[in-house]
Amino acid sequence: MADKPPVALENRGEGEDGRRYSPSAARNREPIRDVLAPLITAPARVLEIASGTGEHGAFLTSELPNLRWTYSDIDPDSLASQRAWQKADITGRLTGPLCIDASTGEWGEAEGLAKWDVVFSANMVHIAPWPAAEGLIRGAGRLLRPGGLLILYGPFARSGGIAPSNAAFDESLKSRNPDWGVRDLDVDISPRARAAGLELTAVTEMPANNLTVVFQRS
């Protein structure tokens, strides 16, 4: 992630005000909301890593009034879209964006704003080099309050098994960049989460062979 910024795997439209629109976010935002609504019932400060267009934060704060959401990214186009979504926000609970390279051991302004209740990241770990996924996990372990949640959304393998559609997606990703790929939740992600003080507490199956994965800070 430090050497190559993430790129979108889809065409993203842009409105006249600078807000960009992701077809995948339009498809998955409501299923994600349905998982988060019963999971985060108290007021919560959410740091989103790799916020992309910014649609998840805008939609989820509009739907879930207990969330205060902070964008972050390293991609200039994504940061510009997030600023536009934040400018258009009417809830007063959407902030940022912060410039964060998840692969690093220091997340700048986010460090001073800790402790966070939730670190959220959708569709990042498979389209970024592995050090970015490792850094995301370590950063969540460092910045979450005790009992805080790391929530990941996207495609995952499980204990060496992978859905055929995700296997094909994995091959496509690696053909674009050999540092990318669908990660194994049980082999790759969970052991590093435990080392960072995070325990896997929930795995929810989502449309299109995606998962929402929840880790809790001890």
Confidence at residue 1, expressed as pLDDT on a 0 to 100 scale: 41
Confidence at residue 18, expressed as pLDDT on a 0 to 100 scale: 92
Mean pLDDT computed over every residue of the chain: 93
Is the pLDDT confidence value at 114 over 90? Answer: no
The vertex-152 CA angle with 125 and 34, nearest 5°, equals 140
Nearest to 103 by CA among 184, 22, 208, 3: 3
Confidence at residue 12, expressed as pLDDT on a 0 to 100 scale: 56
As a whole number of angstroms, the distance between CA 215 and CA 199 comes to: 5
Confidence at residue 16, expressed as pLDDT on a 0 to 100 scale: 75
Confidence at residue 11, expressed as pLDDT on a 0 to 100 scale: 54
Is the pLDDT confidence value at 102 over 70? Answer: yes
Percent of the chain exceeding pLDDT 90 equals 90
> Mean pLDDT over residues 193-211, rounded?
98
In 3-state terms, what secondary structure has residue 135? helix
Confidence at residue 7, expressed as pLDDT on a 0 to 100 scale: 52
Phi/psi for 187 (5° steps) reads -90, -40
Confidence at residue 3, expressed as pLDDT on a 0 to 100 scale: 43
